[in-house]
């Protein structure tokens, strides 16, 4: 990665929506920018919640101009209604980001936890601790949904910077070696 970029991470929810913003400098180092939680619990109308999500993500995009949106994909649960609600929240956030020119990338919760903690079943507190250590910040416990969003942004950063996830690496070892001669030991 030779260009700086801003990544907005979103942990969608219809009650609490976490967001986290990181900026990757030209040398490829990630830096903490912002994080927070949108509390929607006092709003009873589900469509008003979706409107609030769309407006908040749009405002974040206006403020930080992200290149990419890393968002948690809904995961299968026992209650289909929960999946539908999460999908709607996710869709509202995605449309807002797309309208502001950001590219959208989805990550399963387990993948983000694996990228940050090395354990796909890590607890929110473990994720928060690793995000704190990685980005050199202090996080209060009220921001656990925001740390999940930062973990998604960091997961996307790792995807961008890993030679094993690039398209040239995925197609063949020969292309990987040709594209990364400095990474090969003889």
Portion of the chain with pLDDT greater than 90, in percent: 60
pLDDT for the residue 161: 85
Q: How many CA atoms lie within 13 A of 60 on its CB side?
A: 34
pLDDT for the residue 152: 96
Under a CB-based contact definition with an 8 Å cutoff, are residues 128 and 145 in contact? no
Least confident range of 2-6, 51-55, 93-97, 134-138: 2-6
Q: Measure the CA angle with vertex 159, ends 8 and 18; round to 5°.
A: 30
Catalytic hit among 145, 148, 174, 182: 145
106 flagged as catalytic: no
Q: Is residue 107 over pLDDT 60?
A: yes
Q: Tell me the whole-structure pTM to 2 decimals.
A: 0.84
Q: Counting runs of H as helices and runs of E as strands, what totals does the chain give?
A: 7, 5
Summary mean pLDDT of the chain: 88
125 flagged as catalytic: no
Q: Is residue 169 over pLDDT 60?
A: no
39 flagged as catalytic: no
Using CA of residue 87, residue 146, residue 151, residue 103, what is the dihedral sign? positive
Catalytic hit among 25, 39, 72, 174: 72
């Amino acid at each position: 990665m030779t260009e700086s970029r801003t990544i907005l991470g979103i942990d969608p929810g219809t009650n609490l929506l976490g967001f986290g913003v990181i900026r990757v400098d030209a040398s490829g180092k990630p830096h903490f920018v912002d994080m927070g939680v949108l509390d929607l619990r006092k709003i009873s109308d589900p469509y008003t919640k979706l409107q609030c999500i769309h407006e908040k993500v749009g405002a974040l995009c206006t403020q930080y101009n992200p290149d990419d949106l890393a968002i948690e994909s809904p995961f299968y649960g026992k209650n289909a209604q929960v999946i539908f609600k999460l999908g709607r929240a996710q869709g509202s956030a995605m449309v807002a980001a797309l309208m502001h020119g950001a590219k959208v990338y989805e990550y399963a919760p387990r993948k983000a936890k694996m990228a940050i903690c090395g354990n796909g079943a890590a607890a929110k507190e473990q994720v928060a601790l690793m995000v704190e250590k990685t980005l050199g910040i202090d996080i209060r416990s009220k921001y656990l949904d925001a740390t999940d969003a930062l973990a998604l942004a960091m997961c996307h950063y790792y995807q961008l910077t890993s030679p094993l996830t690039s398209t040239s690496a995925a197609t063949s070892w020969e292309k990987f070696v040709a594209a990364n001669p400095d990474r090969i030991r003889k």
